[in-house]
Amino acid sequence: MSSSLFAPHQALAESLLAHLPDDTDGAHDLAHLVRVWRNVQRIAAVEGGDRELLLAATLLHDGVHVPKNDPRRAQASRLAAEQGGRILTALGWQTARIDAVRHVIEAHSFSAGIEPQTLEARVLQDADRLDALGALGVARCFYTAGQMGSALYDPFDPQATNRALDDQRFTLDHFETKLLTLKEGFQTATGQQLATQRHARLLAFREALLEEIGEASIR
Residue 203 predicted with pLDDT over 80: yes
Instruction: State pLDDT tens for residues 148-200.
Output: 899 999 999 999 999 999 999 999 999 999 999 999 889 999 999 999 999 99
The predicted structure's pLDDT at residue 76: 80
User: pLDDT digit string (tens) for 7-28?
Assistant: 788 888 988 988 887 767 776 7
CB 123, CB 41: distance < 8 Å: no
Instruction: Give the Cα separation of 219 and 210 in Å (integer).
Output: 11
Residue 1 has pLDDT above 60, yes or no: no
pLDDT of residue 187: 95
Rounded Cα distance between 116 and 190, Å, is 16
Question: Residues 44-100: pLDDT tens digits?
Answer: 999 999 999 999 999 998 878 766 666 666 678 888 889 999 999 999 999 999 999
The ranges assigned to domains in the chain are 2-115, 134-212
Per-residue pLDDT, averaged over 139-155, amounts to 93
CATH topology for 134-212? Hypothetical protein af1432 (1.10.3210)
Full-prediction pTM beyond 0.85?
Answer: yes
